[in-house]
Amino acid sequence: IVSTRLRLSGALCEPPVQGSRLKQKGQKIQERGQWANKWEFILAVAGSIVGLANMWRFPYLCYKNGGGAFFIPYVLFLFTCGIPLFLLETAMGQYTSQGIITCWRKTCPLFEGVGYASQVIITYATIYYIIILAWAFFYLFSSFSSELPWASCRNTWNTDSCLELENRSNSSNASLPGNTTTPVMEFWERRVLAISGGIDEVGSLRWELALCLLLSWVICYFCVWKGVKSTGKVVYFTATFPYVMLVVLLARGLTLPGAIGGIIFYLYPDPARLADPQVWMDAGTQIFFSYGISLGILKTLSSYNRYNNDCYRDTFWLCLLNSGTSFVFGFAIFSVLGFMAQEQGVDISEVAESGPGLAFIVYPRALALMPLPQLWSVCFFLTVIVLGVGSQFVHLETMAAGLMDLFPGVLRRGHGRQLLLLLLCGACFLLGLLMVTEGGLYLFQIFDFYSCSGFVLLFISVCQSLAIGWVYGADRLYDNIEDMIGYRPRPLIKYCWLYITPVVCTGTFIFSLVKYTPLKFNNSYVYPDWGYALGWLLALSSMLSIPLWTVYKLRQIPGTLHQRLVLLCRPADDLPREQKPPDSCPLNSEPWPLTEKEETDSSCVPRGSRRDRA
């Protein structure tokens, strides 16, 4: 082992060879690329983490869990888990300039399985998240009509039980009869989905949704097909347009009658709810959902940064932007829900929902009650689409970059990137077709509930905080950050990596398993046993990647168990602060002073050192 390390260390200070063996054979390997400027990185991260969870999940959780009192556990989780893990992932990606798998191979090979777990999760997310875009495109195209199709019961898909929307605020009996449905519900279930009776009734393909899904994939493909060169330009639109529309929707919502009642309902504090452990779990899982932690997104996007980018400062600004956007979205959503509740003479708790039900049932119902409903419908669904695209093409880039960094000799030559993206888009599109069948929504709910669930993200977060805090070393990562940005972050985040974050995430993870209740569609339909088995297979396929890969690597390396553990816990020698001259001790990981000869010989300057950056 020592001789191998010496050979590797000696090779580091040999004069640089122009190109690898593949290059010498005339097969040029393309560079990974970098963001053209800092704003491209900021906008790319903002566009990926400020997504649909901010719009339809945070406001609902806030009202459900005590209104303004919910901010107490939310802020505590933000500072003990959200910001520390956000900085950890951003710093890892920027320091190693590698994707979600190879960044772990470089820093802590023993935990390379964390990278594979993230790769599995982001693959699942890429397959099912884009289905929301297909639905949104369907609603957008349907909005260009003389009358919104979900505003009346005079359509071919409506049943005799359909009761049209009307102003019922002065009605003595505001509740709907038990045997009637609304046109917006029938449009969603009968026109858009043509939903079947269960997951075992797949039914036929909804060809209109399939075309919308194809359109979504074409857009995402061309957003990333040229790498950061194309992505860096697209984010100027995808990250800023939602804020323009947020201002428009917020201004419209606040001017509606009943808006104040909705906002009061959104923010009215109920401190008694803080005694419920479920409130704290909801706060923690919302942080992980909305910040993209453990998905590999942050590592991938930051890997395209310049080495001396101030990732520490970026972390705080991006976290502030994300949480602030969630808070403001609550005003835009609940002002409209307050208007709808007043118009229909019902309590706002009867119309407040989370998830797809808010975007495709409740909000369209409110839009149909507004003046110029087509205009506001187009504005709303354009916002949903751009938010979804901003997250989806980053998912695709994360998945592709992880594979390209794993096999650069094959995938970074010629048109390898474009072919890989085409293959990934085609495969995910074909798999996604199962979710645009008549029984597709049942499968979509399984993916959403299990593959990217809170306990999966919490488990991976525990593993990566332990790996960096105790194996790679929190002080070592602090040294890396200082080498990149020129100053040392405050020590509080280091203590979070070591103690607070693992403890909080572990406690929340255990509680989520104790409080686990099987998924029920619409709180009524019980899935067959094979449906739940599929869900747990999706969840365990990512979680088990970590221990299985560790066992595999330990069996592959010769030597005693202690020797194998030492070798697998040692960072790669070609990291910026790990490079050493041939005559240095190969077990010493500290940086070495440059000799007078080395000061004038650029071949022995470690990549990323301060003199190299200068």
Q: Examine the domain organization and report whether 457 and 590 are in the same domain.
A: no
Q: What is the pLDDT of residue 284?
A: 87
Mean pLDDT of 455-463: 94
Q: Is 451 exposed, middle or buried (0-12, 13-18, 19+ CB in 10 A)?
A: buried
| 322 in a known ligand binding site | yes
pLDDT tens-digit map of 76-85: 999 999 999 9
- The answer to whether 92 and 103 have CB atoms below 8 angstroms apart is yes
Q: How confident is the model at residue 285 (pLDDT cuts 50, 70, 90)?
A: confident
Least confident of 10-14, 137-141, 174-178, 395-399: 10-14
Q: What is the pLDDT of residue 182?
A: 85
449 lies in a domain? yes
- Higher per-residue confidence, 554 vs 600: 554
Q: Tell me the sheet residues that pair with 181.
A: 162
555 lies in a domain? no
Element (H, E) at 273: none
Residue 438: both structure tokens together:
């008549």
Buried b or exposed e, range 201-230, using 16+ CB within 10 angstroms: eeeeebebbbebbeebbebbbebbbbbbee
Q: Cα–Cα distance between 235 and 106 in angstroms, integer?
A: 29
What is the helix, strand, coil percentage profile of the chain, to 5?
70, 0, 30
Whether 104 has a pLDDT exceeding 90, the answer reads: yes
- The answer to whether 124 and 435 have CB atoms below 8 angstroms apart is no
For the chain, how long is the longest CA-to-CA vector? 92
Count CB atoms within 10 A of the CB of residue 11: 12
Whether 532 has a pLDDT exceeding 70, the answer reads: yes
pLDDT tens-digit map of 27-76: 577 788 899 999 999 999 999 998 888 888 888 888 888 888 899 999 99
Whether 602 has a pLDDT exceeding 90, the answer reads: no
* Residue (of 274, 281, 307) closest to 513 by Cα position: 281
Whether 594 has a pLDDT exceeding 70, the answer reads: no
532 lies in a domain? yes
Q: Examine the domain organization and report whether 287 and 317 are in the same domain.
A: yes
Q: What is the pLDDT of residue 603?
A: 40
Q: What is the pLDDT of residue 319?
A: 95
| 523 in a known ligand binding site | no
User: At 388, which amino acid appears?
Assistant: G
User: At 61, which amino acid appears?
Assistant: L
Which residues, in sequence order, are CB contacts of 109 under 8 Å at separation 6+? 553, 567, 568, 569, 570, 572
Element (H, E) at 265: helix 259-267
125 lies in a domain? yes
- The answer to whether 213 and 433 have CB atoms below 8 angstroms apart is yes
- Number of helices followed by number of strands (H, E) in the chain: 32, 2
Count CB atoms within 10 A of the CB of residue 118: 30
Q: Examine the domain organization and report whether 234 and 332 are in the same domain.
A: yes
Which residues, in sequence order, are CB contacts of 55 under 8 Å at separation 6+? 329, 333, 359, 383, 384, 387
Q: Cα–Cα distance between 380 and 363 in angstroms, integer?
A: 9
Element (H, E) at 526: strand 525-526
Mean pLDDT of 326-351: 85
Q: What is the pLDDT of residue 176?
A: 53
The CATH number of whichever domain residue 188 belongs to comes to 1.20.1740
322 lies in a domain? yes
* Residue (of 262, 273, 265, 281) closest to 66 by Cα position: 273
Q: How confident is the model at residue 21 (pLDDT cuts 50, 70, 90)?
A: very low
Element (H, E) at 501: helix 501-514
| 54 in a known ligand binding site | yes
Least confident of 326-330, 462-466, 607-611: 607-611
192 lies in a domain? yes
Q: Examine the domain organization and report whether 576 and 537 are in the same domain.
A: no
Q: Examine the domain organization and report whether 449 and 589 are in the same domain.
A: no
Whether 16 has a pLDDT exceeding 70, the answer reads: no
Q: What is the pLDDT of residue 178?
A: 56
Residue 339: both structure tokens together:
């208007």
pTM above 0.75, yes or no: yes
Mean pLDDT of 523-539: 93
Q: What is the pLDDT of residue 556?
A: 92
- The answer to whether 586 and 9 have CB atoms below 8 angstroms apart is yes
23 lies in a domain? no
Q: What is the pLDDT of residue 354?
A: 65
| 480 in a known ligand binding site | no
pLDDT tens-digit map of 550-584: 999 999 999 999 999 999 999 998 888 654 443 33
| 391 in a known ligand binding site | yes
Question: Which residue range(s) make up the domain with 581?
Answer: 561-613
Residue 325: both structure tokens together:
């956007």
471 lies in a domain? yes
Q: Examine the domain organization and report whether 476 and 584 are in the same domain.
A: no
| 75 in a known ligand binding site | no
Q: Average pLDDT over the chain, rounded to whole?
A: 85
* Residue (of 454, 484, 548, 388) closest to 93 by Cα position: 484
Q: What is the pLDDT of residue 524?
A: 84
Mean pLDDT of 208-235: 94
Question: For residue 439, which phi and psi values (nearest 5 degrees)?
Answer: -105, 15
Q: Examine the domain organization and report whether 495 and 567 are in the same domain.
A: no
Query: Any idea what DSSP says for residue 520?
Result: E
Q: Examine the domain organization and report whether 534 and 588 are in the same domain.
A: no
Q: Examine the domain organization and report whether 357 and 408 are in the same domain.
A: yes
Residue linked to tokens 């857009």:
219
If one counts the domains in the chain, the total is 2
Share of the chain above pLDDT 70, in %: 86
Q: Examine the domain organization and report whether 469 and 607 are in the same domain.
A: no
- The answer to whether 288 and 458 have CB atoms below 8 angstroms apart is yes
Whether 601 has a pLDDT exceeding 60, the answer reads: no
Query: Any idea what DSSP says for residue 521?
Result: E
Q: Examine the domain organization and report whether 251 and 280 are in the same domain.
A: yes
Whether 605 has a pLDDT exceeding 70, the answer reads: no
pLDDT tens-digit map of 491-500: 999 999 999 9
Q: Cα–Cα distance between 589 and 584 in angstroms, integer?
A: 10
Q: Examine the domain organization and report whether 529 and 591 are in the same domain.
A: no
Count CB atoms within 10 A of the CB of residue 600: 8
Residue linked to tokens 């191979």:
105
pLDDT tens-digit map of 431-452: 999 999 999 999 999 999 999 8
pLDDT tens-digit map of 225-284: 888 888 999 999 999 999 999 999 899 999 989 999 989 888 888 888 888 888 888 888
